[in-house]
Amino acid sequence: MTSSPATRSLVRTATGLRWDRGGASPEVWRTTFAQTLNGIDWLPLGQGRRTPDGWVVEAGALPPEATIRARGYLSGGSPGSAGGFVESYDGPPLFLLNPVDRMAI
């Protein structure tokens, strides 16, 4: 077990994306990458390929106005236990959930 802080960075490259992960970041067993121009419709860019420092996907040049998402899937600790996922984003900010309307009565 590492005592160093979790590190991660999602970087656009000339040929796609690189998601570097290190330190106390949880290990993921697979990754997917996607892009959106409106925060609602996500276009899959493909599954990542493992590298010594993280994951890469070949996706070509990506629009600078796109928000990019890297998602890593975690496995459960024991058979039958639930897994989960971790995500990193790059690009213009977006709302992941719409704010809930509240009205004072």
Q: What are the average pLDDT values for consecutive 10-residue runs of the chain, which has 105 residues?
A: 76 92 84 93 95 92 92 77 84 72 59
pLDDT of the residue at 90 = 92
pLDDT of the residue at 8 = 83
Find tokens 């493992």 and name the residue: 50
The CA distance from 15 to 74, in Å, is 26
Whole-prediction pTM value? 0.80
